[in-house]
């Protein structure tokens, strides 16, 4: 999944809902967590709750956690520290720690270490969290309101199509926390996506840990290409994306299908993690750097204007100078639109955490930081050059929201675009002529380049 996201506190119109029926959901992590949080909020609103702006205004607080990196856990622990005061002032507040930090092996340890937490719930178990809300208005026998039934869903909605992961990447804790892969049935997904679009969403992003493997565990073994084809045909849908791909699972059929579907955007996140085969083997990624290069060439041959993003871990145990040099070389050669860079941090219980205990494999923090900076520098230079290509072009922007007096949205390639306009353009596709480019965003004016 892509980079760590820290969601802002929920914004909402104030209403007269008492504290007893206000919730506060705080999310750290990837798009899967964002999607879980959206679903939870919709379900809580379905049982009579309203969002609170601050934790002390809520009787039900849910921290949706991530443990992919140590820094994400630290943010959650910091937030839990703040809740000690809230619990002291409002002892009836119920606090739930939810998400990837919660695993079967650490619940009892956490229970002793985090007395401000009342309940621990595993990732994605939305119904389990809703059942803990202290003051629901409706009986929980009634189905909770799914995100598809929100009156006003956001412009762009993430839809989980699969949970869990069957891979065993050395550094990753997700298979332990989210379990084996489970694909959601095609008919259920198409019905849900249709309802979301009917209620006003314009863009859907289908989510899975290895999204390309969707369907292999379902009867008849449908493929992601089948699902994309079905969702792409939903009337009213403007844009379709999917996340996160895996080099060992992406197929020629999927690439060809992407290219042929009118709403499927030319945008692929294909994590490479390292450019050295020695490292890829240690990481247990299941492909070689040659196979990765071949796949990128194949994608670019079929979809020449594709935007390719990747994820890289620097400082993984066993990474020598020459391994890192190969990562730099691969990134310089393949010229990604974006690289999500993470310095390795050991996740307890993973193979890489054990590898790090071996002094011959461990990478010093200063070296990790040096490598992170070197890759950041290369990344910024390439992103700046790639974005310069859009200067003077007209791109179609799906407008998501206003940000500091300017409208912000995304181009088909998923580039962030800012522009000014007096009207509210939320949810509209607007042609924007690009007047300024930088490594992380584009600026422009409404109108095309003619
Ligand atoms: S593919 Fe690897 S990195 Fe991705 S979720 Fe599965 S185990 Fe983790």
Residue with CA at minimum distance from ligand 1 atom 8:
172
Site to probe by mutation for ligand 1, drawn from 123, 167, 177, 211 as the one with most ligand atoms within 8 Å of Cβ, is 167
Report how far residue 214's alpha carbon sits from residue 223's, in angstroms, rounded to the nearest whole number.
6
Is 281 inside a domain boundary? yes
165 C-beta closer than 6 A to ligand 1: yes
For position 330, what pLDDT does the model report? Answer: 98
Residue 190 and residue 220 in one domain? yes
For position 34, what pLDDT does the model report? Answer: 87
CATH assignment at residue 59: 3.40.50.12160
Q: What is the number of domains present in the chain?
A: 4
Residue 233 and residue 321 in one domain? no
How far, in Å, from the CA of 215 to the mean position of ligand 1?
17
Is 103 inside a domain boundary? yes
Beta strands in 66-175 (DSSP E): 94-99, 119-121, 156-160, 162-163
Burial letters for 6-32: b for 16+ Cβ neighbours within 10 Å, e otherwise? eeeebeeeeeebeeebbbbbbbbbbbb
Beta bridge partners of 99: 65
Domain range spanning residue 77? 5-130
Site to probe by mutation for ligand 1, drawn from 123, 210, 270 as the one with most ligand atoms within 8 Å of Cβ, is 210
Residue 71 and residue 16 in one domain? yes
For position 448, what pLDDT does the model report? Answer: 60
* pLDDT averaged over 10-residue windows placed end to end, the chain, 450 residues: 42 62 91 87 83 92 88 88 90 91 78 87 86 67 51 78 93 88 95 91 93 96 98 98 96 97 97 98 97 98 97 97 98 97 91 94 96 97 97 96 89 96 92 96 80
213 C-beta closer than 6 A to ligand 1: no
Q: Write down the residue that tokens 């699902």 correspond to.
A: 227
Residue 330 and residue 410 in one domain? no
167 C-beta closer than 6 A to ligand 1: yes
**Domain boundary residue among 265, 289, 310?**
265
DSSP string, 382-413: HHHHHHHTTTT-EEEEEEEEEETTEEEEE-TT
Residue with CA at minimum distance from ligand 1 atom 4:
209
Nearest residue to 397 via CA among 374, 421, 424, 418: 418
For position 4, what pLDDT does the model report? Answer: 40
For position 68, what pLDDT does the model report? Answer: 81
């Amino acid at each position: 999944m892509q980079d760590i996201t820290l969601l802002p506190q929920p914004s909402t119109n104030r209403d007269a809902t008492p504290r007893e029926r206000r919730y506060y959901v705080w999310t750290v992590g990837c798009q899967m967590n964002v999607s879980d949080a959206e679903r939870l909020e919709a379900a809580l609103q379905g049982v009579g709750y309203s969002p609170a702006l601050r934790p002390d205004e809520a009787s039900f607080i849910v921290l949706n956690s991530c443990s992919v990196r140590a820094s994400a856990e630290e943010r959650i622990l910091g937030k839990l520290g703040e809740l000690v005061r809230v619990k002291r002032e409002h002892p009836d507040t119920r606090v739930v720690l939810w998400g990837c930090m919660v695993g079967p092996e650490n619940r009892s340890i956490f229970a002793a270490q985090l007395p401000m937490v009342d309940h621990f719930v595993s990732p994605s178990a939305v119904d389990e969290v809703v059942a803990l809300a202290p003051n629901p208005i409706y009986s929980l026998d009634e189905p909770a309101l799914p995100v598809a039934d929100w009156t006003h869903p956001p412009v762009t909605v993430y839809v989980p199509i699969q949970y869990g992961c069957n891979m065993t990447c050395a550094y990753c804790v997700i298979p332990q926390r989210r379990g084996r892969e489970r694909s959601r049935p095609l008919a259920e997904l198409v019905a849900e996506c249709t309802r979301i679009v009917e209620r006003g969403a314009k863009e859907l992003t289908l989510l899975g840990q290895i999204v390309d493997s969707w369907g292999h565990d379902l009867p008849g073994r449908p493929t992601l290409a089948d699902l994309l084809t079905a969702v792409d045909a939903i009337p009213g849908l403007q844009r379709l994306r999917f996340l996160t791909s895996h080099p060992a699972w992406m197929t020629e059929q999927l690439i060809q299908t992407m290219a042929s579907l009118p709403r499927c955007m030319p945008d692929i996140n294909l994590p490479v993690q390292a450019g050295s085969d020695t490292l890829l083997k240690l990481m247990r990624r299941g492909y070689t750097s040659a196979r990765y290069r071949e796949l990128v060439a194949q994608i670019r041959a079929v979809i020449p204007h594709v935007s390719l993003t990747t994820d890289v871990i620097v400082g993984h145990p066993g990474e020598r100078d020459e391994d890192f040099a190969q990562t730099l070389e691969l990134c310089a050669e393949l010229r990604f639109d974006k690289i999500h860079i993470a310095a390795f941090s050991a996740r307890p219980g993973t193979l890489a955490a054990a590898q790090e205990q071996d002094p011959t494999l461990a990478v010093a923090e200063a070296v990790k930081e040096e490598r992170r900076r070197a890759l950041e520098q290369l990344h910024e230079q390439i992103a700046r050059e790639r974005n310069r290509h859009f200067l003077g072009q007209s791109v179609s922007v799906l407008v998501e929201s206003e940000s500091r007096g300017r409208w912000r949205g995304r181009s088909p390639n998923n580039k962030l675009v800012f522009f000014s306009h007096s009207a509210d353009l939320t949810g509209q596709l607007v042609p924007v002529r690009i007047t300024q480019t930088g490594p992380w965003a584009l600026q422009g004016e409404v109108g095309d380049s003619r």
